[in-house]
Amino acid sequence: MFNLTQDERKVVLFLVAAAFIGLGISFAAKRSVNLKKILTTDADIGKLNLNEITREDLLRLRLFSPKLGEKIIAYRNVKGPFSSLEELKSIKGMNDKRIKELERFFFLR
């Protein structure tokens, strides 16, 4: 029917398999909340959710002093989840420059 070489058949088989795997992942992601957390397709890949990070992990990053890290966690515990990184300005020791730097490491959800 199709006069394909062996290499062309391999490519077609690979593309079909990749499509089925993609469909399977998409289907599983729609049905599983935990899988949605693992599979992300946005620009936040490699970033940490500031609203979910633990105190220990935040301090382990060494992006700022332990005292400032404690202030961030304390603020989040009192006020609830951050709605924007700009909200960090309310914490003593945080300024526009530092918040701009932190945008590379954190996102909010």
- DSSP assignment of 2-23: ----HHHHHHHHHHHHHHHHHH
Q: What is the pLDDT of residue 13?
A: 94
Cα torsion angle, 51, 42, 65, 60, sign: positive
19: confidence class by pLDDT, cuts 50, 70, 90: very high
Domain residue extents for the chain: 6-38, 48-107
What pLDDT does 33 receive?
57
Report d(CA 85, CA 104) in Å as an integer: 11
Domain at 48-107, CATH class: mainly alpha
Burial class of residue 99, CB neighbours in 10 A (0-12, 13-18, 19+):
middle
Residue type, position 43, single letter: A
What is residue 35's predicted lDDT score, i.e. its pLDDT?
55
Share of the chain above pLDDT 70, in %: 83
DSSP tag of 107: E
DSSP state of 90: G
Cα angle value 66/69/70 (rounded, 5°): 90
